[in-house]
Amino acid sequence: MISDLVIIGGGASGFMAAITAISNGLRSVVILEGTSKVLEKVRISGGGRCNLTNSCWDISNLVRNYPRGAKQLIGLFNRFSTVEAFDWFESKGLSLKIEKDGRVFPSSDSSQDVIKCLTAVARNSGVKVFTNSHVQKISITEEGFKLLVKGKKYFEAKNILISTGGHPSGRRLATSLGHSIIQPVPSLFSFSTHDSSLKSCSGITLDVQTILTVNKKKYKDKGPLLLTHKGFSGPVVLRLSAFSARNLYENKYNGELRINWLCMNEAEVRSKLDLYKFENGKQIILNHKPFNQIPKRLWRALMLSINIDNQLKWADLTKYQKESIVRCLLMKSYLINSRGPFGEEFVTAGGVSLNEINFKTMESKICEGLFFAGEVLDIDGITGGFNFQHCWTSAWVAANAMSIK
């Protein structure tokens, strides 16, 4: 029997598309999942809590969280955005909560509840899910498509949706149907440095301003930075890694990270140093600091890195040394030489080229009846629930477009 829709990949996008399509009247909707378990990435996401969207309700702000795909997402989010995703899950019985930083999680803090919700709704609506069904080949037929599944099983479909995430097989299938691929590279990672001057500060988190320079291109950002024993991580670094992902990859992960540890300007820092020197002349610089926001451990490490003697008193600080402190606090530079381990989240930047997709429908401009959703596309977001949001949105739009075909 030929299905109205066969979905390749049982992840977030695949389930959203299947449920939406069947509830819109498509008669037979099938999900083919290559592994033995569906929604595996949902399970491990958000440290097991699944950060499934964000309370950034304003579309012009929302798209700023996507280093790739922002322009195309404007139209898509006008139809199904964070508000709609939030309401969609709650209407399916999944209670959600919004954390202070805007991230949305299930109230239970368990990604299993997101899986239970999606699988139960799919099952009750009549979606057929086949696991261990890795799609190897797709051929075009008169009525639509014929899919070869590992083990020599065939499925036929009028429409197909490729929602294979970052897995290379999905990109191979897309290429076989005439699509071009923007080379996939990792996004959302921490930075490693050979500079060992901050090793003793591992674990410290601080709000900072940063400028990352890669191949002469500058990326500026502000936010919490986490010092690790290998380098730098935390939200601001993950965001920088996302926006510079391709450039860093091409530059073999070499770059320069400048940190303004105080988020202050030179005049403010100079006058604070002068006043402190005047009032605390007898104190040792390494042990007494004018800036409360800088933890003791970090202050000592920074001062030692610019050769401030561990017995030097504030009264004896020379003009030259003062200027060195100003530079160290406001524009200390670290050479990044490799990609560190990933944070909680990891996505692929790159995928099916956006020029070949009709963003009103998510249908291929090259092959009629072929649709795409989720991470398989050259769209990715920063951490905060934005990657899942793009999955829900693109899948919802694709499923609606098929339903009115």
Ligand X SMILES: Cc1cc2nc3c(=O)[nH]c(=O)nc-3n(C[C@H](O)[C@H](O)[C@H](O)COP(=O)(O)OP(=O)(O)OC[C@H]3O[C@@H](n4cnc5c(N)ncnc54)[C@H](O)[C@@H]3O)c2cc1C
Residues that bind ligand X (CB under 6 A): 8-14, 32-35, 40-41, 44-46, 50-51, 134-135, 163-167, 169-170, 344-347, 374-375, 385-388, 391
- Smaller CB separation from ligand X, 44 or 98: 44
Other Cβ atoms closer than 10 A to 251: 15
Give the Cα separation of 307 and 303 in Å (integer).
6
- Minimum distance between the CB of residue 404 and ligand X, rounded to whole angstroms? 23
- Smaller CB separation from ligand X, 253 or 392: 392
- Minimum distance between the CB of residue 150 and ligand X, rounded to whole angstroms? 8
- Minimum distance between the CB of residue 167 and ligand X, rounded to whole angstroms? 4
Torsions phi, psi of 159, nearest 5? -130, 150
R_g of the chain computed on alpha carbons: 25
Q: Are strands 255-260 and 205-214 parallel, antiparallel or unpaired?
A: antiparallel
Give the Cα separation of 99 and 13 in Å (integer).
24
- DSSP tag of 376: G
Residue 122 burial by Cβ neighbours in a 10 Å radius (0-12, 13-18, 19+): buried
- Smaller CB separation from ligand X, 134 or 297: 134
- Minimum distance between the CB of residue 281 and ligand X, rounded to whole angstroms? 51
Give the Cα separation of 294 and 207 in Å (integer).
10
- Smaller CB separation from ligand X, 227 or 379: 379
Look at residues 337, 315, 333, 335 and name the one whose alpha carbon lies nearest to residue 324: 333
- Smaller CB separation from ligand X, 47 or 75: 47
- Minimum distance between the CB of residue 286 and ligand X, rounded to whole angstroms? 40
Token pair of 390 as six digits: 């793009």
CA 244 from chain center: how many Å? 12
- Smaller CB separation from ligand X, 226 or 391: 391
Give the Cα separation of 366 and 40 in Å (integer).
31
- Minimum distance between the CB of residue 302 and ligand X, rounded to whole angstroms? 33
DSSP 197-244: TTGGGTT-EEEEEEEEEETTEEEEEEEEEEE-SSEEESHHHHHHHHHT
- Minimum distance between the CB of residue 397 and ligand X, rounded to whole angstroms? 14
- C-alpha distances in angstroms, 141 versus 2, 56, 158, 367, 403? 11, 43, 9, 12, 20
- Smaller CB separation from ligand X, 33 or 356: 33
- Smaller CB separation from ligand X, 105 or 232: 105
- Minimum distance between the CB of residue 175 and ligand X, rounded to whole angstroms? 13
